[in-house]
Chain A
Amino acid sequence: MPRLGAGGAPPVLPIALLWLGAAALVAGTVALSFSPRLLIGHSGSAGMVALVHTFTLGFVSLVFAGTLQQLPAVMFVTRLAWPRLGYVSTPLLLIGTVLIVCGFAAGFAGRLLALGGLTLSVAWLLLLTQHLATALRRWPKDAGGQALVMSVVFLTLTVVAGLILAGARTTPQVAATVGYPVGLHMTLGFFGAFLLGIIGSGQKLLQMFALSKGGAQWRVRSSAWLVAAGITAEALRAFAVLDSGLMPPILIGAAALLQLHEVHAIHKRRLRRKLEAPIQRYVLAHLFLPVAALLWLAGLPVAAAAAFLVGFTGMAVSGMLVKIMSFLVWTATFAGSATGGVAGGAPLLRDLVRDELEPVTTWGLAAGTLALCAALATQLVPLAYLAANLLLIGAISQLLQVTNIVLSTIRAKRRIEVSSARESTA
């Protein structure tokens, strides 16, 4: 009979990473609101690529890295290996992200990009080693846990592929040897890291938060292998080994379809009829998968990428960010100590969340993504302004929420301490 063994990193590490991830989204949307015309024109412009990396590295990857400081302990039911390693990897993640974004914003500055790529590669190799060492302590038998391991491998490969791209820009020999595999870099990041990460962690988390038992191991397992096969096909094409044609999008599309089926099944069989607002946002995010597919089929790949990245990945990460943040700060503050049965002491987790902010975040991000896709598809300037401002509203609301969660918990802790002091004095 397994004993409980949850144990993550020092709480300050994941809490800081999650908060900084939310702050990075605000920074990116502020930048976009000052220059929404970036959405009109060449999608590979320096400013646009800098914005995309603010989102992928600043928001999604920081939240992912923060989650990895706690989630494996829950999913694998073991203790995190080298829990203090985050004190090394976290500063490297932050420095590398800033260098990369500045490198793109400065007009593809090769040295900044190479240095940033190297820093991030070291950070993610450390995180991958920690994750694998944790998994090896108690190898996950469930498909979700295995998919999570694969997604961390793919995220690390994405960063390494980015370093190779930076090397190809500055060193002709690198370019001559490996070419310029942007497609592989994007496929690894979008689908190997983000889609698979959401598939892997989502089944367990959604079932837990929705009190459902609708999940199926075969669906998650099949999704994981389809994504892996799609990435392999893309790699064969990138290195000119084989022209894989439409195989990568077909395989990855099938994985996304299975994920939609999985989320629908869990949602349908939930016992908690009214899901909490952050979980509703996580579920709603999946509607952007068919939107992205339709845009791609309509010959609008940039708009499709925006729907996938901001709509699906952004909203799914945002939903889980709020839930995981409340768990993290609550357990960091109250775990292991009696709370007087909760009723007389610590607040419930839901009391840490300001309800009025949740719809603002959800609809800001959702409507902002739709406007973003429309702006990219039509190249209309007013839509670009609308998208920038809606996304900014959603991002600010999310940052206010995660800040409020931390402050509410601190206030609750103080209240309990004052109350205990009065009782002992009396």
Chain B
Amino acid sequence: MTRTEYTETNPNLPGITVLEFLRAVIDPELGIDIVNLGMVYRIQVNRGDVRVEMTLTTPGCPLHGSIRADVEQVLMSVPGIDTVNVELVWDPPWTPDLMSDEAKYSLGFP
């Protein structure tokens, strides 16, 4: 599983907390949250401004609109967050190896 990188300047809002909130965002195709899928690469917290660098299972994924909107909606509901900027990146490309053991298990991987 990939490790999400954090850059944070707000002691009241550590990146790991932001990541925990992102567990509420589910990939509608796989039925697994984007954190366990290993899609969240980097979280930057600058006071109330949060920037999320994430990927999707494939470039051109038709679900990008709703996943991005979900990330923005979930984080904007967190007290202390004023703005959310979601950046979709493709380098490194997502591979199934980035998934957590829990996600792999739920897909039937032994």
Contacts and interface: CB of A to CB of B under 8 A. Distances in A.
Interface of A: 1-6, 8, 70, 73-77, 204, 208, 211-213, 271-274, 327, 330-331, 334-343, 346-350
B26 A6 contact: no
B107 A331 contact: no
Interface stretch (B1-9, B10-18, B42-50, B57-65): B57-65
Contacts of B107: 211, 271-274
Given A2-B90, A213-B95, A348-B28, A75 B60 contact: yes
A74 B70 contact: no
B62 to A, nearest CB: 5
Contacts of A75: 60
A211 B96 contact: yes
Interface string B57-88: 11111111110011011100000000000001
B104 interface: yes
A208 B26 contact: no
Choose among B59, B95, B104 the residue with the greatest number of A CB atoms under 10 Å from its CB.
B59
A287 B59 CA distance: 30
B60 A331 contact: no
Secondary structure at the B interface, as helix, strand, loop or mixed, is loop
A3 B66 contact: no
B29 interface: yes
Interface residues of B, number: 36
A74 B61 contact: yes
A6 B28 contact: no
Contacts of A73: 60, 62
Given A1-B91, A331-B62, A335-B65, A271 B99 contact: yes
A273 B62 contact: no
Given A4-B88, A337-B66, A340-B73, A271 B26 contact: no
Given A213-B96, A348-B31, A339 B69 contact: yes
Nearest to B62: A331
Contact of A346 (B24, B30, B61, B66): B66
Given A4-B56, A342-B27, 13 more contacts: A6-B64, A204-B58, A213-B96, A331-B62, A331-B63, A336-B69, A338-B72, A338-B73, A339-B69, A339-B70, A340-B73, A341-B73, A346-B28
Contact of A349 (B25, B29, B70, B104): B29
A133 to B, nearest CB: 17
B19 interface: no
Secondary structure at the A interface, as helix, strand, loop or mixed, is loop
14 contacts: A4-B56, A204-B58, A208-B57, A211-B57, A330-B63, A334-B66, A336-B66, A336-B69, A337-B65, A339-B70, A341-B73, A342-B26, A347-B28, A348-B26
Choose among A70, A73, A335 the residue with the greatest number of B CB atoms under 10 Å from its CB.
A335
Given A74-B60, A77-B60, A340-B73, A330 B96 contact: no
B105 to A, nearest CB: 10
B88 A3 contact: yes
Nearest to A342: B26
Contacts of B58: 74, 204, 208
A7 B100 CA distance: 31
Contacts of B70: 338-342
Contact of A337 (B25, B69, B109): B69
A217 to B, nearest CB: 15
A2 B64 CA distance: 14
B54 to A, nearest CB: 11
B66 to A, nearest CB: 5
Contacts of B99: 271
Contacts of A342: 25-28, 66, 70
A341 B88 CA distance: 17
Interface in B20-46: 24-31
Contacts of A350: 31
